[in-house]
Amino acid sequence: MKENKNVPVADFRDTYPKFTPEMKHTHKILIPDMLPFHFGIIVDFLRKDGWDIEVLHNDSRAVIDEGLKHVHNDTCYPALCVTGQFIDALKSGKYDPEHTAVMITQSGGGCRASNYIPLIRKALKAEFPKVPVISLNFAGLEKDSGFPVTLKMILKLAFAVFYGDVLMSLYNQCKPYELEAGASDAAREDCLEVIREAFDKNKYRSYKKWTKALLQRFSAVRRSTEKKIKVGIVGEIYVKYSPLGNSHLEDFLLSEGCEPVVPALMDYVMYCAVNNVNDAKLYNKKNASTPLFALAYKYLYGVQKKIIRMMKEYGFEPLHDFEHLRRCADKVINQGVKMGEGWLIPAEMAALAETGTDNIVCAQPFGCLPNHIAGKGTIRTLKQMYEHENIVAVDYDPSATKVNQENRIKLMLATARENMEQEEKAQKN
């Protein structure tokens, strides 16, 4: 058959703009908002290292609308939010597209979050074809990135996560009970200065000293002894933490007079490390990185245990012990279930129930199959195990209104208040 040279042939070669080492000195890097406490710490030390980085805080309906315009209907809600936030920011006129890049984290694995990078590149190509997309990952997924991930940076990121977790936990334990309005916010700002000092002096690994300083500062916040409803927040990592993704869930719970209980980000970090080790045990998938992940987990868990001990000494509810989380998971689900947040979601719900937080919001993004299976799919079993556990699964997607989401949570809170009243009556009798 004669070849028809007039037929166009698709070009599958990569044509996306790459972030080069030289761009460190010419480009501003935008990152989506997810963890208000943690990202402020991370951005601060990255700026000190010479990177021009900014966390985006645009969270209007226009962000969601931009996301809907640029991704397909099967895209999970976090990807839609992140894409919309980038494009909305670039359209604002505040940034020069010729000298701007965007960056997101990439965990790897089978979750669709691993495919955010090509999705965002396609979305940007139509209107902002010169904006590079940077992947911050530890799995070598983007081998040609000019954003280097060094051992020093990994250590800094790890301790930024620890400090962010402690700060988030202390703030949530103080804010609902503060006797002076704004006292917890003032403590948070003071603690952020302490953490900046730790990184500025390159002494951030002296975590006992700096953690003690955070504990002492929040211990000084005068608090009431009034009993309040504690509400745990679990679910897919983005909607669990991101104010944009969960419609400012923590603020809503505070406005309802509740204490939000948000599991630590470090739990997810150690979850990823343990899963690599589990792969070797469960699926015979041992590779060169397995011993490194095992060593990293051992080190991180050692730090976590000491921080837990310090929080207890100062009278605060500590972070979850990760080995306790693993034991909780084993009661409900196999640790081989690791797609997305996998076994971590039911483990956190069980651990919350065992540590006195019976009321839980399971935040579920549209299009996240692992979350619906490992999260919503285990709720019935958890309620059978912990008879007082009061769980509501709340969907977050472009069509879900904030009013409907909050109404579902209010119904859960009504049950929580009834349970609290019954407990108080039982104690009196």
Model confidence at 113: pLDDT above 90:
no
- Burial class (CB within 10 angstroms; exposed 0-12, middle 13-18, buried 19+) of 3: exposed
Model confidence at 340: pLDDT above 70:
yes
Radius of gyration of the CA atoms of the chain, in A: 22
Q: Are 251 and 243 in contact (CB under 8 A)?
A: yes
Structural domain containing residue 67:
21-145
Model confidence at 11: pLDDT above 60:
no
**Alpha-carbon distance 211 to 169, whole Å?**
12
CATH (domain of 72)? 3.40.50
In a domain, 377, yes or no: yes
In a domain, 35, yes or no: yes
CATH (domain of 393)? 3.40.50.2300
235 and 100, same structural domain? no
In a domain, 258, yes or no: yes
- Residue at which a domain ends, from 126, 145, 164: 145
In a domain, 382, yes or no: yes
* Structural domains of the chain, count: 2
Task: Based on DSSP, count helices (H) and strands (E) in the chain, helices before strands.
Answer: 16, 8
246 and 125, same structural domain? no
Q: State the alpha helices, DSSP H only, in 151-232.
A: 151-174, 183-200, 207-219
Question: Lowest-pLDDT range, 40-44, 112-116, 175-179, 296-300?
Answer: 112-116
In tens, the pLDDT along 287-339 reads 888 899 999 999 999 999 999 999 999 999 999 999 999 999 999 999 999 88
Model confidence at 5: pLDDT above 60:
no
236 and 128, same structural domain? no
Question: Which pLDDT value is given to residue 424?
Answer: 82
242 and 130, same structural domain? no
In a domain, 330, yes or no: yes
In a domain, 220, yes or no: no
The closest of 300, 49, 37 to 172, measured between CA atoms, is: 37
**Alpha-carbon distance 386 to 420, whole Å?**
16
- Residue at which a domain ends, from 116, 145, 174: 145
Q: What is the DSSP letter of 122?
A: H
Model confidence at 426: pLDDT above 90:
no
- Residue at which a domain ends, from 130, 145, 160: 145
Model confidence at 344: pLDDT above 60:
yes
389 and 254, same structural domain? yes
- List CB contacts of 201: < 8 A, sequence separation 6 or more: none
234 and 114, same structural domain? no
Model confidence at 210: pLDDT above 90:
yes
In a domain, 367, yes or no: yes
Question: Which pLDDT value is given to residue 334?
Answer: 93
Model confidence at 96: pLDDT above 90:
yes
In a domain, 393, yes or no: yes
